[in-house]
Amino acid sequence: MKIKPFITFWSIVLLSFPFVSCNETACPLNNTVAAQFNFYRMSEESLEAIQLLDTLTVTAVGTDSILVNRDLSAQGIQIPLSYARTTDTLSLRYASRTGGVVYDTIVIQKESYPHFEAPECPTVTFHNIKGIRSTHRYIDTVQIVNPNVNYNATENFKIVFYTTD
């Protein structure tokens, strides 16, 4: 008989306090940080969005990480950047349908910093792009569109490919 009032008292106490948890208002649902690269070619003095005809594989140089694996007919790619390094080097491998393989390399200089949203959310790393350069086998230029890489899924880079027409 003495246990019932005790259980009832603690049930009331526990139900009267709100429980804190990660929710949509405190923590963003889209918490993936990745750089967005879109593909273009020069067409009559303006850039035209394109779809690659080759199969694209992207790896992080100096690691065993395959970031994009045999993407066929890509119009763009999202690539996560490293947390600790100030420079990321990406190797782009184009495999044509005829069997030829060509490589380009992109080097990204950046500053990374932790981003804190709320106590119940994990800390993420945002990046500020300082510079970019590439080899020029298939790539004509790489342009920085938005230097802030965060979880806003906006275009960060335009990769302009040489045209063959």
Which pLDDT score, from 0 to 100, does residue 3 have? Answer: 53
pLDDT at 4 over 80: no
pLDDT tens digit string along 134-146? Answer: 999 999 999 999 9
Which pLDDT score, from 0 to 100, does residue 8 have? Answer: 52
pLDDT at 12 over 80: no
pLDDT band of residue 84 (cuts 50, 70, 90) is confident
Q: What is the mean pLDDT of the chain?
A: 85
DSSP string, the chain: --HHHHHHHHHHHHHHSPPP---TTTS-S-----EEEEEEEEETTEEEE---SSEEEEEETTS--EEEEEEES-SEEEEPPPSS-SEEEEEEEEE-TTS-EEEEEEEEEEEEEEE---TTS--EEEEEEEEEEE--SSEEEEEES--EESSS----EEEEEPP--
pLDDT tens digit string along 24-75? Answer: 557 777 777 899 999 999 888 889 999 998 999 999 999 988 999 999 889 9
